[in-house]
């Protein structure tokens, strides 16, 4: 400062030789590396929420001491004028579950509050409002039911996810008895109206629009194989009355001689001919009217900016019928940021896992990608050490999986984590966290297919004869209303939500996968049992120890010499690591000593984490 003027007011953003430095996000959610990020300061961020909650109300109950102490309420929504009870002060903390991380403010029976705010406090103020929890609607970029968990836009942007798969957005049967509001009710369509417990059509369209605006693509889980079952009574999520027999649509199965000749035995019995899928009413995809109605529904979603679809139970539909339906789909709209002529991304659910499976995934390749359930099974066998399967390169290459550009791969999904579908006894889930994180790290570092990360909620299992009797349990809820996600200071979740996508080890490996994209596997090493390591070109390196003894070896990384932050144990913050620091020697090798007793017996480094 000179003469009251800042002589450095010209200085540009943090940079190195003119190249702007990235924003570093610190564990408490604020920024480093020279960035201030006032929008991330708890006090400011929470007051933005306050403003949204009290929107539309007037200032009332003004008080001041005629000097510099003031107070007022915003109608009956913000301090005070509120109903009697306890509230979390949003200046000093947040509401997590049923408790406050900061001050708890008591509103008396008459609506008043007894204040004692010291002038020496860091923030000498309080603010409370009627509804601290975020709206559980489409507006935060993902719903929380069965297939997917509630993520927000910030998660996707900060963590480099390419997009989000959302649960079916169309009207479904409301199942309230035997059992109550199970997750699978979302897979019992009643109509193609866009309204579920996650939100309505306007909210869905708004969510997609805003997600696209910040580069987050939305992929819809699409149920077009069937409608709800003949035995379902009551109402749908749009309050449409359900009758025991639906006759309004001429869409149900009719056998044709061609179908019977072409696909005898299994295909006819299981997929189209002699049986419905668990008593759900099949659609006859051979009829033009049915094809048109399905395409009309999908095109409506495309018009909102949806980027693609996961097609539920695709295995139960003829590939030719699906091809006809997909040919009716419009290109993705340029007004939502897609390049001209871009086609919707299609993933078809095909459980082609057994050698004797008569329906093969390759039959559907012309329509789009397929779900590669064999990867899920094999990765579980490897990391569980099933049948003493050694984790060697020849073993992995011998899995016989479909080619990379044809498949979607995953460690688990909503079905096989419950023992359904193409599962087997070796599927890994969040319940075996140590093995699960190793399996996810391998999946996200291995160049096979398009990878998808599961994000779950917790439920208590109850096994009888090896079957979980609680496999129906839906997301955390109160009387059927889905509960909000609680975000802890370490960015993991509570309130019954698991949020694997927020686990440091997994989200950092998503970034690893993006960094090493386009490179091949090199410098493979294994101990012929369950210790492995490999590099991805000259961009990344990973080593995993799934043995009962330390991994002690000097291995080639393919990376430039220097110090790197291990993304399994932490991240790079400015010029230091919050976790392990890994040194790459002058010849590109690294001296490893990974104890089998560590919480996460593995390390992963890439060139963007170089100090």
- Tokens 């290459």 label which residue? 397
Give the integer Cα–Cα distance in Å for 369 and 343: 13
What residues form DSSP beta bridges with 19? 16
Among 145, 195, 349, 500, the active-site one is 349
DSSP state for residue 497 in the 8-state scheme: B
Token readout for 593 is: 């000593």
Residues in the chain: 611
* Residue of 312, 321, 381, 415 marked active site: 312
Distance CA 541, CA 546 (A): 17
CA separation for the pair 595, 584 (Å, rounded): 19
Torsion region of 278: left, alpha or beta (phi above 0 gives left; psi -120 to 50 gives alpha):
left
Residue 149, classed as helix, strand or coil, is: coil
Q: Please confirm, yes or no, whether 349 is among the known catalytic residues.
A: yes
Burial 259-272 (b: 16+ CB within 10 A, else e): beeebeeebbebbb
Between helix 373-384 and helix 433-445 the angle, nearest 10°, is: 130
| CA atoms within 13 Å, Cβ hemisphere of 247 | 2
Q: DSSP letters of 63-83? A: EE-SSS-EEEEETTTBSSSPP
On whether the CB atoms of residues 228 and 177 are closer than 8 A, the answer is no
- Does the annotation mark 500 as catalytic? no
User: Cα–Cα distance between 219 and 434 in angstroms, integer?
Assistant: 29
DSSP H or E segment with residue 210: helix 201-213
219 φ, ψ (degrees, to nearest 5): -120, 125
Centroid of chain to Cα 19: 33
Structure tokens at 224: 């077009």
CB 436 within 8 A of CB 464: no
Strands 15-16 and 19-20: antiparallel
Respond yes or no on whether the N-terminal peptide bond of residue 497 is cis (omega within 30° of 0). Answer: no
Q: How far apart are CA 386 and CA 365, in angstroms?
A: 31
Rounded Cα gap, residues 331 and 342, in angstroms: 6
Q: Which residue has the tokens 């009207």?
A: 171
Main-chain phi, psi angles of 342, to 5 degrees: -70, 130
Q: Which residues are catalytic?
A: 312, 349
């Amino acid at each position: 400062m000179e003469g009251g003027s800042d002589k450095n007011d010209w200085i540009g953003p943090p940079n190195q030789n003119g190249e702007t430095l990235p924003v570093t996000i610190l564990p408490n959610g604020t920024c480093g590396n020279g960035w201030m990020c006032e929008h991330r300061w708890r006090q400011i961020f929470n007051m933005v929420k306050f403003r949204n909650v009290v929107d539309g109300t007037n200032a009332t109950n003004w008080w001041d001491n005629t000097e510099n102490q003031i107070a007022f309420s915003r109608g009956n929504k913000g301090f005070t004028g509120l109903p009697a009870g306890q509230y979390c002060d949003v200046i000093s903390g947040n509401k997590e579950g049923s408790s406050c991380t900061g001050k708890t403010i008591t509103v008396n029976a008459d609506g008043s509050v007894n204040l004692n705010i010291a002038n020496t406090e860091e923030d000498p103020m309080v603010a409370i409002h009627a509804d601290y929890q975020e709206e559980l609607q489409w507006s935060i970029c993902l719903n929380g039911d069965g297939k997917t968990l509630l993520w927000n836009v910030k998660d996707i942007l900060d963590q480099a996810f390419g997009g989000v798969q959302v649960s079916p957005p169309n009207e479904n049967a409301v199942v309230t008895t035997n059992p109550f509001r199970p997750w699978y009710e979302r897979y019992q369509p009643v109509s193609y109206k866009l309204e579920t417990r996650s939100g309505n059509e306007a909210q869905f369209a708004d969510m997609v629009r805003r997600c696209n605006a910040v580069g987050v693509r939305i992929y819809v889980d699409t149920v077009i194989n069937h409608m709800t079952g003949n035995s379902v009574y009551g109402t749908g999520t749009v309050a449409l009355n359900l009758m025991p027999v639906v006759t309004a649509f001429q869409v149900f199965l009719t056998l044709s001689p061609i179908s019977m000749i072409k696909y005898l035995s299994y295909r006819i019995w299981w997929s189209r001919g002699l049986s419905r899928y668990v008593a759900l009413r099949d659609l006859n995809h051979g009829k033009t009217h049915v094809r048109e109605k399905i395409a009309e529904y999908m095109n409506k979603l495309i018009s909102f900016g949806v980027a693609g679809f996961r097609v539920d139970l695709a295995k139960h539909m003829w590939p030719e019928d699906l091809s006809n339906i997909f040919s009716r789909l419009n290109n993705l709209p340029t007004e939502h940021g897609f390049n001209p002529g871009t086609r919707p991304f299609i993933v078809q659910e095909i459980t082609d896992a057994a050698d004797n499976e008569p329906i093969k995934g390759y039959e559907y390749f012309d329509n789009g990608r397929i779900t590669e359930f064999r990867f899920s099974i094999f990765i579980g066998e490897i990391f569980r050490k099933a049948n003493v399967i050694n984790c060697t390169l020849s073993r992995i290459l011998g899995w016989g999986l479909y080619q990379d550009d044809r498949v979607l791969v995953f460690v688990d999904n909503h079905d096989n984590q419950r023992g359904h579908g193409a599962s087997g006894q070796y599927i890994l889930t969040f319940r075996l966290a140590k093995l699960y994180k190793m399996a996810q790290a391998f999946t996200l570092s291995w160049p096979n297919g398009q990878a998808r990360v599961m994000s779950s909620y917790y439920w208590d299992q109850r096994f009888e004869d090896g079957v979980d009797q609680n496999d129906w349990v839906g997301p955390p809820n109160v009387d059927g209303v889905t509960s909000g996600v609680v975000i802890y200071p370490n960015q993991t979740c509570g309130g019954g939500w698991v949020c694997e996508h927020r686990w440091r080890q997994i989200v950092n490996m998503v970034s690893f996968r993006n960094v090493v994209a386009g490179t091949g596997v090199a410098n493979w090493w294994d101990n012929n049992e369950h210790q492995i390591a490999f590099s991805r070109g000259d961009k990344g390196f990973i080593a995993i120890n799934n043995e009962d003894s330390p991994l002690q070896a000097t291995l080639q990384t393919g990376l430039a010499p220097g110090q790197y932050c291990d993304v399994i144990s932490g991240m790079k913050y400015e010029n230091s690591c919050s976790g392990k620091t890994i040194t790459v020697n002058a010849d590109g090798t690294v001296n490893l000593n990974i104890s089998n007793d560590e919480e996460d017996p593995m390390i992963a480094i890439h060139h963007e984490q170089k100090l």
